Amino acid sequence: MTIIHCRIESANNPESDFPLNNLPYGVFSKDAGTARCCVAIGDSVLDLSTLYAEAIFPDLAENVFAHTTLNAFMGMGAKSWSYVRKQLIELLSTENDIDASKSNVIDTALHAQSSVTMHMPFAVGDYTDFYAGRQHATNVGTMFRGAENALPPNWLHIPIGYNGRASTVVVSGTDIHRPLGQMKPPTAEIPHFGPCKRLDLELEMGAVIGMPNNMGRPVTVKEADNMIFGYVLLNDWSARDIQAWEYQPLGPFQAKVFATSISPWVVTKDALANFRISTPARDVELLPYLQEKEPLLYDIDLAVHIQPQGAAKATTISNTNYRNMYYSAAQQLAHHAVGGCKMNTGDLLGSGTISGDDNKAYGSLLEISWGGKNPVTLDTGETRSFLEDGDTLTLTGAAIGDGFRIGFGECTGKILPSPDFNP
């Protein structure tokens, strides 16, 4: 597939994240006005509420785009998702003639991205994070249990996950305070309390649930894929020293709940359809309810950039690809629901850390520095084993087409010092 030429010229730039092929959804406000839904196009946003008011979507019974989140639209289902995308492409494509009135509607609805404020694109109902990247799981397991016991016995059979906190999922650009908690170094007899000293990122993709299932009813992998509205970049910030002390026997808790950042743009499955690929070959056959009947993973290039406070530029510390996942989001969702769990519109599934084959493609500083033993040197001369106060972390990603890219924008967060706390 090649680029669909757009009457918004900036969308035709092959380096733009947001060509007409993409049309990711978000929520914006302008000049302290009410937040409402939009799509990104080139270097602009297109106000969908304005388009609805001008009868661009006559088959929609209500103006779901006037809401402050995408949830109402996502809950309408795949037929409505495809309909809105089709109407937008017809309106914006240079292959279609439009009259002066529609051209005026576009002008009225169009705003420069630089002039608007982006908000959380959807209200997160529940958040589940997975541990589904084989290289990451192998790396972490090797560090803590040795190479011979790197993967837990169940890892090749089920996508392992834990329930996170929806309340602290935040949109890109939100500052992140260094968390406080209990830590116990291996040489200490008792734990101590204080700021995390081994603060880390986790490069992930997030799958956004559009359509719910019924409690008590499992879904197939295909049905699970149909429930997914789209994908976001996701950084599941991690306090490694807090996690090391707390995680047995029930897994992460305080080490993860303090913040998870997502990109402001939700890229739809329709936009990513030509980039579907199969999950990797299996060492052991999955049970039937987890088997894919068609490719359900995606070929999406991903990168991690770090910029210390005062540094003139960011350094790219990792380049990897979503195709490195062992389990697709659809498989993760099918496993999540198989015991009877009800999934709701706006639920979020984190893929798990996405790592490639070497430390230039690892998705966390824990791996890149190998537990702090091999600090990475940034382009500006600083070294990092873990994140320091003032560091800005940015995730980027795009599926690369023929003369265009389906981009996700940026997922950023700056590390602030721990809050003052004197119990």
Neighbouring C-beta atoms of residue 407, cutoff 10 Å: 26
337: enclosing H helix or E strand: helix 329-337
- Give the total residue count for the chain: 423
53: enclosing H helix or E strand: helix 48-53
Please tell me the distance from the alpha carbon of residue 125 to that of residue 165, in angstroms, as a whole number: 9
Alpha helices in 230-294 (DSSP H): 240-246, 254-257, 269-272
Among 205, 218, 267, 239, CA closest to 395: 205
User: Could you give phi then psi for residue 229, rounded to 5 degrees?
Assistant: -80, -45
Among 380, 28, 18, CA closest to 172: 28
Please tell me the distance from the alpha carbon of residue 113 to that of residue 11, in angstroms, as a whole number: 12
214-238 CB burial, b ≥16 within 10 A, e <16:
eeeebbbbebbbebbbbbbbbbbbb
Query: 3-state class of 1 per DSSP?
Result: coil
Angle value at C-alpha 187, between 186 and 193, nearest 5 degrees: 75
- Concerning whether 136 is annotated as a catalytic residue, the answer is yes
Please tell me the distance from the alpha carbon of residue 155 to that of residue 207, in angstroms, as a whole number: 20
Token pair 């978000």 is found at 26
Crossing angle for the helix pair 78-92 and 100-109, nearest 10 degrees?
A: 110
Q: Of 67, 119, 136, 335, which is the active-site residue? A: 136
The pair of three-digit structure tokens given for residue 161, joined into one six-digit string: 């996950």
Supply the residues annotated as catalytic.
136
